Structure 1
Amino acid sequence: MSRPALEVADILRDHGAAWRRANAGHVSLGQLKVMSAIERCRTAALGGHVARCENETCAHTVIAYNSCRNRHCPKCQGAAAREWLAEREADLLPVPYFHVVYTLPAQIADIAYQNKAVIYDLLFKASAETTLTIAADPKHLGARIGFMSVLHTWGSALTHHPHVHMVVPGGGLSPDGSKWIACRPRYFLTVQVLSALFRRLFLEMLVAAHHAGRLQFFGEHARLADKAAFAAYLAPLREINWVVYAKEPFAGPRQVLRYLSRYTHRIAISNRRLLSADENGVTFKYKDYRIEGPARTKAMTLATDEFIRRFLIHVLPKGFHRIRHYGLLANGTRAANIAHARQLLAQPARPKEPETPEAAINEPRVLPRPCPCCGGRMIVIETFERGCEPKHRPTPAPAPIRIDTS
């Protein structure tokens, strides 16, 4: 895939130092580390390798610099997603899959910005408990289910908009584990019931966190440290509908994988949404979800410092897991539960992956992409450390062909 003409890294390299100076004392260590990682990604600062075509008549040579592998880097998430998806493919069952989205109201999102680790964690817990509880109720499905949850904290315009995407198999095990209980076709659970329970559970957990002193408030929200003021702030939220959205079921496992490849390792903005960066600011594409059809995609220009600020508000707390598994798919018992579900669904067990022969381990490292000149294998012939320059030189780009029509 060709390199985009403009990248987030370009914007940070050009404006990051000035932005850091202007915002000194108001930027977290985590945000500073993300900026540094993205600025250094795929540059000589991180080292790299040299690869050469094994075809001696070609010998095309390229230099590739190492990736930062930061989970907020737009360049690094494609490879991470492919590796993760290869592992998840083995977990898919031959049943319909549903997509459910739980969204926090704007008033909660405002205080989540100052309490990311606590409130994002409550969002995971409340949405998971809601889904498991309603699914287990005999009035709804009456089954023990499992699912994967993915946290997104942004809207299309880089605003702070915390929500959880769930991918849920359409059914689960009976309480005694003796049979598979399938959902009704094209229907998972009643959204209104999910919404009401989610609202109650989340507010209960939030109030408990406040009473335990786990929340902090600054600026215009400083008054919410008082219990009475906090209770008054939450009161209107008990009367409104909280957004829980259940989409149409996926067409099959392949569609599930395509969806997961877009959502699991997505970050606030991809490089391909960037249009320009100049003295007017940064212009990028976004979707206006109030409009249907092609007109939904629009362009927005933000001052460069505001673009950087919005990008960095989506940096997650250190060690925070934004992909989590629940119920039958919880990490400790997932393999056994999937094997049992396959047995009940009369699906053959997946064969074990063959072990890599020792001879293959000692083979030279080969790049996943073939030689752009002749299609041969690209063999790594040199690696170099951080801050060092390679001994070999890349093949010069061919001179452009000029045709004189005078």
Structure 2
Amino acid sequence: MAITLQQIFGRYFDSFASRFHVSREMLRAAWCIQHCRTRTLGGHVNSCPEGHYHSIAYNSCRHRCCPQCAWVAREQWLAKCKQRLLPCPHHHIVFTLPSELNRIWRFNKAAYAETLFNAAKETLQQLLKDPKYLGAKPGILAALHTWNQTLLPHVHLHCIVTAGGLAGDGTWRRPQKDCLLPRKVLMLKFRGKFKAMLQQKVQSGKIQLPDSMSASDFQKLLAKLSDKPWNVKIFDAYRDGSGVATYLARYIKGGPIGKSRLLDVQDDKVVFRYRIGTQDGGDGKRQGVTALPIDQFLGRWLEHVPPRRFQTVRGYGLYSGNQYSQLDEARAALGVEPPESDSLEQLTWQQWCESAGLLDACTCPVCGKRLVSHHEFSAGRDPPSDAYSWREKQGQAA
């Protein structure tokens, strides 16, 4: 049986934390992963309505980096996202920051990521506002990722962008060219904006330079980065945005490594799968196996815990989600009706499981009827003694 992240943290985190500095966000993430779906968090009992089957279900920690309880949250996010996306082609655009700036990211994660979001947003909105490219207001959905397949820092932003937008006269305008924007123009504008914003935040003290980097070193680094192209990708338009949203959903919840990639712990090393990228001679699809020492694995994983309450997915333009988004006007211009917003909120966990085909998780193995949740019990306690006689009491009450 493959090792789980919960087992790794349970066995090795206390020793790691006693020897290395761990932030409050990291401590909270580690505690949640160690105690997810355990007696520590309390739970409830799931029973067959005919009394054939009973099981204890311990509560999930609901931490966004926990791979064990991410599935329902991920499916809920994806369903809401698909409901929100306009029925038009979408482009997938990726803005990647140079690895030379990773030292600054480590010390200023929230402010650094905020700068990335703002630079990408302003770049796309200003270029697409130009009639030469679109001359309209697009919908933009951006998601922050900070890791690569081996958990090393790789700070980049995935954007889903409508291939079209709402014009000032209320009509839907399509882009002048199939590519939406020229890649070099997009890269140059983004590079200039990010550098200017980063420099301003350093000067104002909102971003602190690491002790090993002086102000002079910082200026030299920015000048050096001006002479090299940055990695900005713009992909051909997809028929709609749901495919890209499905891809992003895998990284929205569950942290930097999924449970299916973890293989074993051998000789105090964590063995896991990874996709071999083009920089390593692969095509991004072929898989390899690597191993990291326990301390290195935990250190890399913890580095990607986002600051508490930091919003890693954001909408802009038509997808901004506020009263200025004009999303309903865009739907009208495309000739479609707004979706029913309440339908997703009313689904129970059993219905989510059924919609995904996970019938074993929500139905009785004997008669196939949907399980019923009852007898919640508090953290650190066992189910009440009468929980398993629930069916008989239901019958007596009837």
Fold shared by both chains (TM-score > 0.5): yes
Counterpart of 1:302?
Answer: 292
Cα distance between partner residues in 1 of 2:342 and 2:159: 28
State the Cα distance separating 1:260 from its structure 2 match.
3.9
State the Cα distance separating 1:233 from its structure 2 match.
2.1
How do 1:133-212 and structure 2 match up within 5 A? 133-174=126-167, 176-183=168-175, 186-212=178-204
Contact 2:170 2:329 in 1 (8 A): no
**Segment of structure 1 superposing worse, 257-266 or 242-251:** 257-266
User: How has the CA–CA distance of structure 1 residues 220 and 192 changed in structure 2, closer, same or farther, with 3 Å as cutoff?
Assistant: same
Cα distance between partner residues in 1 of 2:85 and 2:124: 19
Cα distance between partner residues in 1 of 2:195 and 2:54: 59
List runs of 5+ in structure 2 lacking aligned partners. Answer: 354-361, 389-398
User: How has the CA–CA distance of structure 1 residues 186 and 260 changed in structure 2, closer, same or farther, with 3 Å as cutoff?
Assistant: farther
Contact 1:149 1:323 in 2 (8 A): yes
Contact 1:49 1:383 in 2 (8 A): yes
State the Cα distance separating 1:382 from its structure 2 match.
1.5
Structure 2 counterpart of 1:330, from 302, 312, 320: 320
Give RMSD over aligned pairs. 2.6
Counterpart of 1:320?
Answer: 310
For 2:272, give the aligned amino acid: F
For 2:217, give the aligned amino acid: A
For 2:334, give the aligned amino acid: L
Counterpart of 1:262?
Answer: 250
**Segment of structure 1 superposing worse, 316-325 or 86-95:** 86-95
List runs of 5+ in structure 1 lacking aligned partners. Answer: 396-406
State the Cα distance separating 1:318 from its structure 2 match.
1.8
TM-score of the aligned structures, taking structure 2 as reference length: 0.88
Counterpart of 1:248?
Answer: 236
Cα distance between partner residues in 2 of 1:126 and 1:295: 30
For 1:139, give the aligned amino acid: K
State the Cα distance separating 1:182 from its structure 2 match.
1.3
Deviation per CA, 1:274-316, whole angstroms, max 9, x where unpaired? Answer: 0101324101111121244587311110001110000000011
Contact 1:366 1:377 in 2 (8 A): no
Cα distance between partner residues in 1 of 2:182 and 2:4: 42
1:49 aligned onto 2:44: yes
User: How has the CA–CA distance of structure 1 residues 43 and 185 changed in structure 2, closer, same or farther, with 3 Å as cutoff?
Assistant: farther
**Segment of structure 1 superposing worse, 179-188 or 304-313:** 179-188
User: How has the CA–CA distance of structure 1 residues 111 and 355 changed in structure 2, closer, same or farther, with 3 Å as cutoff?
Assistant: closer
Cα distance between partner residues in 2 of 1:206 and 1:269: 29
1:9 aligned onto 2:6: yes
| Aligned-partner SS, 1:237 | helix
State the Cα distance separating 1:256 from its structure 2 match.
4.2
Counterpart of 1:81?
Answer: 74
Structure 2 counterpart of 1:21, from 18, 39, 52: 18
For 2:330, give the aligned amino acid: A
Deviation per CA, 1:24-54, whole angstroms, max 9, x where unpaired? Answer: xx21111111111110100000001111111
State the Cα distance separating 1:9 from its structure 2 match.
0.8
**Segment of structure 1 superposing worse, 385-394 or 91-100:** 385-394
For 1:55, give the aligned amino acid: E
Deviation per CA, 1:58-78, whole angstroms, max 9, x where unpaired? Answer: x21111110001111111221
Deviation per CA, 1:304-351, whole angstroms, max 9, x where unpaired? Answer: 1110000000011122110111112112136x6221111111223434
Aligned length: 378
**Segment of structure 1 superposing worse, 339-348 or 191-200:** 339-348
Deviation per CA, 1:192-238, whole angstroms, max 9, x where unpaired? Answer: 111000110011011111111222233533xx2x3x33211211011
Deviation per CA, 1:136-179, whole angstroms, max 9, x where unpaired? Answer: 112222211121100000011100111000011111011x2421
TM-score of the aligned structures, taking structure 1 as reference length: 0.86
Counterpart of 1:106?
Answer: 99
Contact 2:74 2:252 in 1 (8 A): yes
User: How has the CA–CA distance of structure 1 residues 232 and 258 changed in structure 2, closer, same or farther, with 3 Å as cutoff?
Assistant: closer
| Aligned-partner SS, 2:326 | helix
Percent of matched pairs sharing the same residue: 32
**Segment of structure 1 superposing worse, 196-205 or 347-356:** 347-356
| Aligned-partner SS, 2:212 | helix
| Aligned-partner SS, 1:333 | coil
For 1:242, give the aligned amino acid: W
Structure 2 counterpart of 1:346, from 335, 340, 348: 335
Cα distance between partner residues in 2 of 1:181 and 1:264: 31
Structure 2 counterpart of 1:213, from 205, 220, 224: 205
Cα distance between partner residues in 2 of 1:254 and 1:146: 14
Cα distance between partner residues in 1 of 2:239 and 2:369: 37
For 1:376, give the aligned amino acid: K
User: How has the CA–CA distance of structure 1 residues 352 and 146 changed in structure 2, closer, same or farther, with 3 Å as cutoff?
Assistant: closer
Counterpart of 1:122?
Answer: 115
User: How has the CA–CA distance of structure 1 residues 184 and 122 changed in structure 2, closer, same or farther, with 3 Å as cutoff?
Assistant: same
Cα distance between partner residues in 2 of 1:355 and 1:112: 36
Structure 1 counterpart of 2:56, from 55, 59, 63: 63
